[in-house]
Structure 1
Amino acid sequence: MKQSLPERPRHIGILRLSALGDVCNLVPTVRALQRQWPEARITWIVGKAEYGLLDGLDGVDLVVYDKSTGFQGMRAIWRQFEDIRFDVLLHMQQALRASVLSLGLKCDVRVGYDKARAKDWQHWFTHRQLAPHPRAHVLESFMDFARLLGVEDTRLDWSLPVPEAAYQEARQLTGDRPYLVISPCANPRLRNFRNWSAEGYAAVIEHVWQRFGLRTVMSGGGSPQERDMGEQIRRLVPNVEITDAIGRTSLKGLLALLDRARVVIAPDSGPVHMANALGTPTLGLYATTNPDRAAPYCWRSHVVNRYPDAVRRYLKKSAETVNWGTRVRHADAMALITLDDVVEHLDGLMAATRDIADDVTEPPHED
């Protein structure tokens, strides 16, 4: 017998710890829940880095779980919630660690993914599962949780909090002239293989400078891999104005930097989804991950997509026959993206968004 879902939940729990791009894709679901039940309390258990992105999200109690603290941190969360019971807990993190964490949270009903989408045996830890939704984008998979609860108004709204101090931080790096942001690297995890080449980025920087008069700001974290990529790119275009902000911004500062950009270019990584959430024109570079599942949602028609080619070449299959979400873990896959691919899509994106070009240098709330 299925566990009943609440008709008017008073306290909704959300368990989604990571990653930056995924929590960005989850925010519209939170907004949909708020529209449906404005009086409901929403508590979101989130990762440490992700908290830095979401801090200040209105109407949401954010609670940090730092996975590096292991079982000790898990027990701390359980103690923090020992006197709290959720009407419904939305278990949106497909990881065994998160499933174990969920068991220590009191709730009337725990909702998770359907068996086809669940990973790490998540469906064994939930009372109710989503209806099947084959070949869904990540954002739509999150929104399926709201749909299961009866939410019909699924309009997209992010309204991410970006404080004025973050805009000041961004302006100190960029001034007030328009710019393009390139975030060249994805998270430097083992066998990630999502990065395009320094030579390719350098040629794009030269192109936007010559054709559009746009200078480039490079963004990213402070890892050795990211810093090295930035240095390689700068050496390849010594005569073009580039601001290297790699490792030089806070997370909120990065949001402000992306918000004020004319265009953002990046591989499948947090910044493409952050830029998408802010309404900034976004060009995603995809070959090792499927953009139909994970492209910047509002800019899917502009994505550079060599994923089908990578699947054919390195997996000897077609994109239609591999499991949804299959990654191509081959070091040469991103080399299938050509400079012509990127320039063609970039020029098209610039033309399609010409009407917003005059509005990208200042945050809308400023006097």
Structure 2
Amino acid sequence: MCNLVPTVRALQRHWPEARLTWIIGKGEHSLLAGLSGVEFVVYDKSTGLAGMRALWQELADTRFDVLLHMQQSLRASLLSLGLKADVRVGYDKARAKDAQHWFTHRHLAPHPRAHVLESFLDFARLLGVEDLSLDWQLPIPAVAFDEARALSGEAPYLVINPCSSMRLRNFRNWSAEGYASVIEHAWVHHGLKTVLTGGSSTQERELGERIQALCRPDTVIDAIGGTSLKGLLALIQRARLLVAPDTGPVHMANALGTPALGLYATSNVDRAGPYLWRAFAVDRYPEAVRTYMHKAPEELSWGQRVRHPDAMSLIRAEDVIERLDALLVQSPVPQDTESRADEA
């Protein structure tokens, strides 16, 4: 979602009077609700065909000039069939998944080895938009900043979101011991407490508990399962730095201008890393490909993951600490972040 917003902003600059309708999931909507100039139509994925029919009925009297088919899934393609649109734009055949190109009229120009954010911008490029400067302006309400302050206090801090999403054969998470070393260094050398964030799943809570057991009690604030998505945005906006594996909060930080230190070994940082902070990521993907797949990275298809449980062990605590120090030196303490968010 965060990687897609710059495309929305580019379209708005090019056609300021255009009506933009975004069909979006419930969880994603809770993150982006209030995005200026966008009419959201919320689709509950759990409702299946009945939900699709309800959405089709809601938009029965609307005919779109262009439908940008930006979600690559068979469910999204089926949903698109019930929408009236003069032109349907999808990915080129090399990037299309789940036979998406069968459901669209026009296809993007090939763009090999593109970052996810650049792939979204390709939709604006096809429509003739030339100003592709990056702009997010994510809305964060005052109540979300109140939520963040109640958790973190007023002193500077960093955020660690230690877990990625729950998926089959998902080996993107780093070790509790590694995170504990980073937390200790941030406290001793920078005077920064760490706020742990994440969802309320058993996996996330258990990893958070293991991390805290290895740390001094006064150095960690446990916010795992304790924030709304808007509250998480506010926490990240106010933070000095965010550390996380390949997961949504690195892109939230990227969108908010907060330095993002990504930890990558199972996925390619050049495709899925925090766009503006890729140079600061700890990138062990090439090494993991050679070690566990016995291939050179260029032999893999773009975006192919390393599905090995030991891949993230290639990341060393000293590498993360080195990048953390470099980012903290170049990044000033955030000032008046709530005012800046309100202005945006």
TM-score of the pair, normalised by structure 1: 0.92
Among residues 229, 233, 237, which one is paired with 2:211 in the alignment? 233
Structure 1: how far apart are the matches of 2:341 and 2:72? 37
Are residue 156 (structure 1) and residue 129 (structure 2) matched? no
User: Hey, what's the Cα distance between the residues in 2 that align with 1:365 and 1:112?
Assistant: 33
Residue 96 in structure 1 maps to residue 59 in structure 2 = no
Task: Encode CA deviations 1:19-40: one digit per residue, 9 max, x unaligned.
Answer: xxxx100000000000000000
Mapping 1:236-251, distance limit 5 Å = 236-251=214-229
**What is the CA distance between 1:315 and its match in structure 2?**
1.2
| Counterpart amino acid of residue 54 in structure 2 | A
CA RMSD, 1 decimal = 1.2
- What's the CA shift for 1:341? 1.2
Q: Deviations over 1:261-307 (max 9, x none)?
A: 00000001010001110000110000111000010011111011000
Please state if 1:318 is matched with 2:296: yes
Tell me how far 1:240 sits from its aligned partner: 4.2
Q: 2:316 aligns with which of 316, 338, 343?
A: 338
1:165 maps to 2:143? yes
Q: Which runs of 5+ in 1 are unaligned?
A: 1-22
Report the TM-score when normalising by structure 2.
0.98
* Residues 1:120 and 2:109 are matched in the alignment: no
Provide the identity percentage. Answer: 68
1:134-283 → structure 2 map (5 Å cutoff): 134-283=112-261
Aligned partner of residue 306 in structure 2, secondary structure: coil
Seen in structure 2, the aligned counterparts of structure 1 residues 361 and 213 have a Cα distance that, compared at 3 Å, is farther
- Which structure 2 segments of 5+ residues have no match? none
2:335 alignment counterpart: 359
In the other structure, the counterpart of 1:349 is 327
Q: Secondary structure in 2 aligned to 1:285?
A: strand
Whole-Å separation in 2 of the counterparts to 1:200 and 1:299: 21
Looking at structure 1, the residues matched to 20 and 11 of structure 2 have their Cα atoms a distance apart, in angstroms, of: 9
Mapping of 1:30-69 within 5 angstroms?
30-69=8-47
Residues 35, 362 of structure 1: alpha-carbon distance in 2 compared, 3 angstrom cutoff: closer
Runs of 4+ in 1 over 3 A off after TM superposition: 360-363
Once the two structures are TM-superposed, the CA of residue 238 in structure 1 deviates from its matched residue by 2.8
CA gap of 1:179–1:188, structure 2 versus 1, over 3 A, is same
Q: Structure 1 residue 358: deviation in Å?
A: 4.7
> For residues 323 and 360 of structure 1, what CA distance do their matches in structure 2 show?
44
3-state SS of the aligned residue for 1:276?
helix
In 2, Cα distance between equivalents of 1:366 and 1:70: 37
Distance in 1 of aligned mates of 2:128 and 2:176: 47
Q: How many residues align?
A: 343
Check conservation: 1:186, 1:195, Cα contact below 8 A: yes
SS, match of residue 144 in structure 1: helix
State whether residues 9 and 135 of structure 2, in contact with CA within 8 Å, keep that contact through their aligned partners in structure 1. yes
